[in-house]
């Protein structure tokens, strides 16, 4: 008998949507796919030009990023969050944020230390998958439970997600500061996934970064950010992590050995995207218009919108199983994301994305309004 290898991971959950997509595609007006948060708008020209200009990339890039990129990341934190990070020691570019989320428990050596990962009850599935890949337990733990005194014993990495995916919930500064305090007291690495931070709908300023409540001391804390949403760069795989200098140094060293390096043309494109703020504000307004059109239509149809104060989704519930909601929407030619993908606590919601063309958003809203009559 031959040896059996592999991690035996479950099937990719989005494949379960196939039959709903097929039913939605039968609608005479075509499908309105509001299920996945991939950008549909063009990548800004300033970024495309920077990528093209850096096309003669004959040498190996550096894992730590060029000095210009590190300085641009530090500038981004100061401009948007009023946070100062050391560009020489406290920032690191990554190949998108998903790979960092998936590999961080392994890179931190949690299995060797016998420690678990913790993430919110309703959460991006890759937090749990990262624990699975690392061969450690994943516990579900919300910030509110931590503030109420929940134990962090046996946890090595605590994920928070603000603004949250799928919920769109934003953790305020007081909550962030207390979670930081408790994580530090327990000796737990706190990683904050902040990829939707600039898409805050109920305030002019971005959602607060965890680094905004730590002062100059970033020990034990990491902020993770992706440019996919702010700059339509999902295809570039452009992201970064900032915070604790010792953790950044260790991650950089490990990633050097593993060859986990952002390509040089992408690093150049990131610099252009980080420094240019006009396209970020313009893109946010595009999403605001779509949100303002879609939200009242969902409510008119009978959905309650929970949280959703930031990010690219409307966290919608009709107080029924998510698959029932998905089925009713598919009959209207609309595809949404089932809350069950994000944990048992999310099974009564569907995630409705704003990442569709204006015409498709309008078509979905019109169908919802017509069905509500």
CA distances from 259 to 32, 63, 263 (A): 39, 8, 11
**How do the pLDDT tens digits run along the chain, 373 residues long?**
455 666 666 666 666 788 889 999 999 999 999 998 899 999 999 999 999 999 999 999 999 999 999 999 999 999 999 999 999 999 999 999 999 999 999 999 999 999 999 999 999 999 999 999 999 999 999 999 999 999 999 999 999 999 999 999 999 999 999 999 999 999 999 999 999 999 999 988 999 999 999 999 999 999 999 999 999 999 999 999 999 999 999 999 999 999 999 999 999 999 999 999 999 999 999 999 999 999 999 999 999 999 999 999 999 999 999 999 999 999 999 999 999 888 889 999 999 999 999 999 999 999 999 998 7
Q: Determine the Cα–Cα distance for residues 373 and 367; give it in Å rounded to an integer.
A: 10
What are 33's two structure tokens? 């796919």
User: Within the chain, which residue ranges are assigned CATH 3.40.640.10?
Assistant: 45-275
**Phi, psi (degrees; rounded to nearest 5) at 370:** -65, -40
Q: Which residue's structure tokens are 């999403």? A: 287
User: Within the chain, which residue ranges are assigned CATH 3.90.1150.10?
Assistant: 14-42+279-372
Decide: 347 and 322 in contact? Cβ < 8 Å: yes
Supply the pLDDT for residue 235: 96
Decide: 266 and 37 in contact? Cβ < 8 Å: no
- The burial of 163, by beta-carbon neighbours within 10 Å (0-12 exposed, 13-18 middle, 19 or more buried), is given as buried
What are 361's two structure tokens? 């958003």
One of 2.60.130.10, 3.40.720.10, 2.170.150.20, 3.90.1150.10 is the CATH number of 14-42+279-372, namely 3.90.1150.10
Supply the pLDDT for residue 5: 63
Three-class DSSP labels, 279-305:
HHHHHHHHHHHHHHHHHHHHHHHCCEE
Of 236, 164, 149, 238, the closest CA to residue 194 belongs to: 164
One of 3.40.640.10, 3.40.50.280, 1.20.120.1770, 3.50.50.60 is the CATH number of 45-275, namely 3.40.640.10
Supply the pLDDT for residue 252: 98
Annotate 23-47 with b (16+ C-beta within 10 A) or e (fewer).
bbeebeeebbbbbebebeeebbeeb
Identify the H or E element spanning 190.
strand 189-193
CA distances from 49 to 62, 164, 170, 237, 359 (A): 21, 32, 34, 17, 28
């Amino acid at each position: 008998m031959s040896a059996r290898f592999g991690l035996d991971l479950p099937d990719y959950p989005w494949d379960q949507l196939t039959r709903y997509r097929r039913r939605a595609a039968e609608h005479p007006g075509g499908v309105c796919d509001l299920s996945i948060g991939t950008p549909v708008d063009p990548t800004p020209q300033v970024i495309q030009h920077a990528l093209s200009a850096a096309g003669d990339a004959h040498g190996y890039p550096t894992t730590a990023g060029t000095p210009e990129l590190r300085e641009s990341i530090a500038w981004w934190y100061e401009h948007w969050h009023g946070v100062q990070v050391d560009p020489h020691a406290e920032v690191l570019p990554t190949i998108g944020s998903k790979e960092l989320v998936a590999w961080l428990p392994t890179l931190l050596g949690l299995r060797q230390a016998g420690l678990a990962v913790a993430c919110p009850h309703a959460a991006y599935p890759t937090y749990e998958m990262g624990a699975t890949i690392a061969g450690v337990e994943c516990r579900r733990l919300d910030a509110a439970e931590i503030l109420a005194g929940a134990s962090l014993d046996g946890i090595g990495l605590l994920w928070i997600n603000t603004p949250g995916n799928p919920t769109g919930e934003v953790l305020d500064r007081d909550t962030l500061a207390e979670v930081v305090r408790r994580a530090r007291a327990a000796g737990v690495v706190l990683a904050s996934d902040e990829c939707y931070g600039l898409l805050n709908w109920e305030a002019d300023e971005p959602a607060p970064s965890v680094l905004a409540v730590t002062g100059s001391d970033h020990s034990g804390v990491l902020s993770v950010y992706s440019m996919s949403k702010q700059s339509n760069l999902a295809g570039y795989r452009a992201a970064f992590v900032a915070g604790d200098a010792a953790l950044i140094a260790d991650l950089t060293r490990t990633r050097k050995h593993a060859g986990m390096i952002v390509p040089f043309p992408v690093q150049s494109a990131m610099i252009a995207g980080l420094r240019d703020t006009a396209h970020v504000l313009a893109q946010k307004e595009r999403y605001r218009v779509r949100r303002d059109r879609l939200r009242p239509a969902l409510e008119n149809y009978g959905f309650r919108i929970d949280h959703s104060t930031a990010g690219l989704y409307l966290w919608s519930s009709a107080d029924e199983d998510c698959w029932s909601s998905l089925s009713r929407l598919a009959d209207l030619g609309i595809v949404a994301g089932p809350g069950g993908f994000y944990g048992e606590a999310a099974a009564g919601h569907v995630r409705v994305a704003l990442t569709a063309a204006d015409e498709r958003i309008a078509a979905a809203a019109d169908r919802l309004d017509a069905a509500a009559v």
